[in-house]
Amino acid sequence: MELDINKLENDFQARIDAGENIEPKSWMPEKYRKTHIRQISQHGHSEIVGMLPEGNWITRAPSLRRKVGLLAKVQDEAGHGLYLYSAAETLGISRDELFHQLHTGKAKYSSIFNYPTLSWADIGAIGWLVDGAAIINQVMLTRTSYGPYARAMVRICKEESFHQRQGYEMMLTLCAGTPAQKEMAQDALNRFWWPSIMMFGPRDEESPHTEQAMKWKIKLKTNDELRQQFIDITVPQAEILGLTIPDPDLKWNEETGHYDHGPIDWDEFWQVVKGNGRCNKERLGARVKAWDDGEWVRDAAMAFAEKKEKSKEAKKAS
């Protein structure tokens, strides 16, 4: 019986519209599968690459307490990458292929991680702003239509909100410290504010994926809606810190109930996305080196697993 593709697609859309989760074994349009592999794998790559700028300060943390907290956070990000790669694998792509796509530049990771971490305050700003922005997006994704992705988000969001609080507490400590410490916090905000609001992606009208992503409930809010939500939440937090957000056009709009903000430098955004940011080459180089240096570990783990399998079979046969 010839597959009635129209009926399958209509039934699929009806399930999405009814708010059902799509599971790995459900029928799904090839484009739905492919766009999830693209988004989930890039999300996972963002987590793994995101370990690099923060890892840069583990050996230079100002106290044992800060070092332990940062170690735990970086370890959490590795775990987030693992959950996301596992979710992507349910769609039929192998882990090796995922990494090949990252290492060859075929797959992206979040632009934000191509900025350098120049001071300890950057670690506070990343927790506060970058994890804060990630949470806004990820809370929405806990209700995304693809089951394994939505479920991975639940655990990730719990840990991410801890990261955001940890980063904000670092900024509070610096802002309550010496003038030099407060200046360091202000400098970090000056450098991470605009790249953080770029994390949400291009403007809706320039996003090639948003329309279909909304139809398939991959996204439940658009890039601009999430960006605005982040700005509205974060501006009062900066005020509590006594820091100035580097946007002279930032102003509360009583009519809309949101903050108006100045123009985003989309040239900078696309330059970074295209690989021409300050740290793109360094980040990708670090990932490729880690992959090459870790080959013996993967081979040993595979050999051990094969040996274990063989001895299990030998026991069964005897």
- Among 86, 207, 237, 271, the residue binding ligand 3HC under the rule CB under 6 A is 207
How far is residue 162's CA from residue 131's CA, in Å, rounded to a whole number? 9
- Strand 251-253 relative to strand 258-260: parallel, antiparallel, unpaired? antiparallel
- Interface with ligand 3HC (CB under 6 A), residue total 29
Q: Does 196 bind ligand 3HC (CB under 6 A)?
A: no
Q: With H, G, I as helix, E, B as strand and everything else as coil, classify residue 250.
A: coil
If binding is defined by CB under 6 A, does position 203 make contact with ligand 3HC? no
Task: Examine residue 202 and tell whether it contacts ligand 3HC (CB under 6 A).
Answer: yes
> By C-beta, is 38 or 155 nearer to ligand 3HC?
38
CA distance 37 to 57: 32
Which of these segments, 90-98, 128-136, 183-191, 245-253, binds ligand 3HC (CB under 6 A)? 128-136
Q: Find the angle CA(201)-CA(85)-CA(39) to the nearest 5 degrees.
A: 25
134 touching ligand 3HC, by CB under 6 A: yes
* Residue 190 near ligand 3HC by CB under 6 A: no
Q: Torsion over CA of 251, 117, 50 and 63, rounded to 10 degrees? A: -110
Least distance between ligand 3HC and beta carbon 151 (Å): 15
Least distance to ligand 3HC, CB of residue 110, Å: 4
CB neighbours of 28 closer than 8 A, spacing ≥ 6? 12, 22
248 binds ligand 3HC (CB under 6 A): no
Q: Where in 36-55 is the site for ligand 3HC (CB under 6 A)?
A: 38-39, 42-43, 46-47, 50
Beta-sheet strands, E only, within 43-100: none
Nearest to 132 by CA among 147, 112, 108, 152: 112
62-91 residues in contact with ligand 3HC (CB under 6 A) are 77, 80
Contact code string over 265-284 relative to ligand 3HC, x by CB under 6 A: --------x-----------
Q: Does 223 engage in binding with ligand 3HC (CB under 6 A)? A: yes
Residues 9-38 that bind ligand 3HC (CB under 6 A): 38
Q: Which is nearer to ligand 3HC, 36 or 182 (CB)?
A: 36
Residue 47 makes CB contacts below 8 A (sequence gap 6+) with 77, 78, 80, 81, 84
Task: Report the alpha-carbon distance of residue 189 to residue 126 in Å, rounded.
Answer: 9
Nearest in space to 101 (alpha carbons), one of 51, 41, 47 = 41
The three-point CA angle 255-256-257 to 5° equals 95
- Taking residue 217's Cβ as centre, other Cβ atoms within 10 Å add up to 18
Q: Give the residue, chosen from 145, 186, 210, 229, that forms a contact with ligand 3HC under the rule CB under 6 A.
A: 210
Binding-site member from 153, 185, 213, 231 for ligand 3HC (CB under 6 A): 213
CA distances 293 to 275, 285, 299, Å, are: 23, 12, 11
Between 108 and 127, how does the x/- string for binding to ligand 3HC read (CB under 6 A)? x-xx----------------
Binding to ligand 3HC by residue 209, rule CB under 6 A? yes
Residue 186 engages ligand 3HC in binding (rule: CB under 6 A): no
Q: Which residues bind ligand 3HC (CB under 6 A)?
A: 38-39, 42-43, 46-47, 50, 77, 80, 108, 110-111, 130-131, 134, 137, 160, 198-202, 207-210, 213, 223, 273
